[in-house]
Structure 1
Amino acid sequence: MKILAVTACPSGVAHTYMSAEAIVKKCKDRGWEVKVETQGSIGIENAITADDVKDADAVILTKDMPIKNEERFQGKLIARVGISDAIKKTDAILNKIETMVDKK
């Protein structure tokens, strides 16, 4: 399974990076490939490329503020989650994504 994620929070600091860290850890624990782009106060870091998108099974987007360049994920399975849920409920989010991918 290959997961992409873009995290962004209103202040663009702590929660942006805490959610990215949680998603990476939980995906790696499952043996999944993962790449997380952060859109924080210092701009976009670890930018997701067109090649990344092409091979992705699903995309996690935080919904607390607009995600820049969201159109690049058109046609992909997208899970929109709150920034706090990305930190506290990561396993539940990944379980739901796995179920949705399996149904495709």
Structure 2
Amino acid sequence: MKAAYDLIKRKKPQCSGTLKVTFSRWLDGFNLTPNQFKAEGTHKIGGKSVSLYAMKAKEVRFYGAELVIGGVLSFVLTEVELNKQKNKADPQKLKNAVKRLFPFIA
């Protein structure tokens, strides 16, 4: 997650503060709005269903899933989109995000 955040700070500095606040609120268990954290559907991975989410800040999206790892609820980030122009997710970005979740599920 830190590498992705550092990328955002370099490429989209106007979004980095918003993303940091959104992630901090997620960590603290706050209910986030769909403008901050949006469900992007349920997908099958290795025979299991996993819900994919987009953590959002202006035109930046972090795609991943909420998974319990070592007994801790975690957001596993698997795809980043820097220049989101529409509200609808890019199907290829979602496909990549799901594919990269496989090691955490299997």
Instruction: Tell me the TM-score normalized by structure 2.
Output: 0.30
Larger-Rg structure:
2
Q: Whose helix fraction is larger, Structure 1's or Structure 2's?
A: 1
By relative contact order (CA 8 Å, sep 6+), the higher-ranking structure is: 1
Instruction: Tell me the TM-score normalized by structure 1.
Output: 0.31
